[in-house]
Structure 1
Amino acid sequence: METGMNKGVKAITDAEFENEVMQAGSPVLIYFWASWCGPCRLMSPLINLAADTYSDRLKVVKMEVDPNPATVKQYQVEGVPALRLIQGEQLLASTEGVIAKDKLLDLLDTHLN
């Protein structure tokens, strides 16, 4: 169903983090989630929307928290769902918990324009 390399949300692991996030040429939105997390199900469509809407200037990846403790620790993810917007080594924005669509789009617009 994916149409291009940048389309859609790619699931990554701790092992892929350096390559997929740190080496990305654009900002990266990391979506931290867990299979047991009810609110994460509310966030998933929003994350997909962000990936589609900003596909030209944003990479979107998702990380399941339980199998990827190194990245969770590095970015101090306290609970899920959580978002981290990163460009290179720099953390641009961070959220914990479910956020509304307009808040997510505002956050992205602020850092991507």
Structure 2
Amino acid sequence: MKELAVVLVLAASSLAACAGSDSYYVYPSDYSNELEYVCLHVMQRGTRRFMVNDQHAVIPLQAAGSGVLPEVQTDLAPGGYFCGAFDDRQVPCSKGKTSNLDGTTCAFAR
């Protein structure tokens, strides 16, 4: 009888734990997919910094000089980029901040 009670308590507690909040999956955006694709090619050149020119060509930025990556064309806006989470403008703002690096208002803050 005691063993049956233990089994029932364990079953009830496991069901209660599983009945909590629903989990969900956040799909990556087209922007983050494109940035990841370009970063893979840029990091093969030994750098994490790159820029995109008006013709949408990717130029890795290195201390020893740089050249256009002929095999990569991108839809990213012209400008400078860094492969890493800190310069990704789609991440939430830091605690206490209300604007992104580019001056736009944060979608939400931590």
TM-score by length of 1: 0.20
Structure 1 or 2: more helix by fraction = 1
The higher-RCO structure (CA 8 Å, 6+ apart) is 1
**Looking at CA atoms only, which structure, 1 or 2, has the larger radius of gyration?**
2
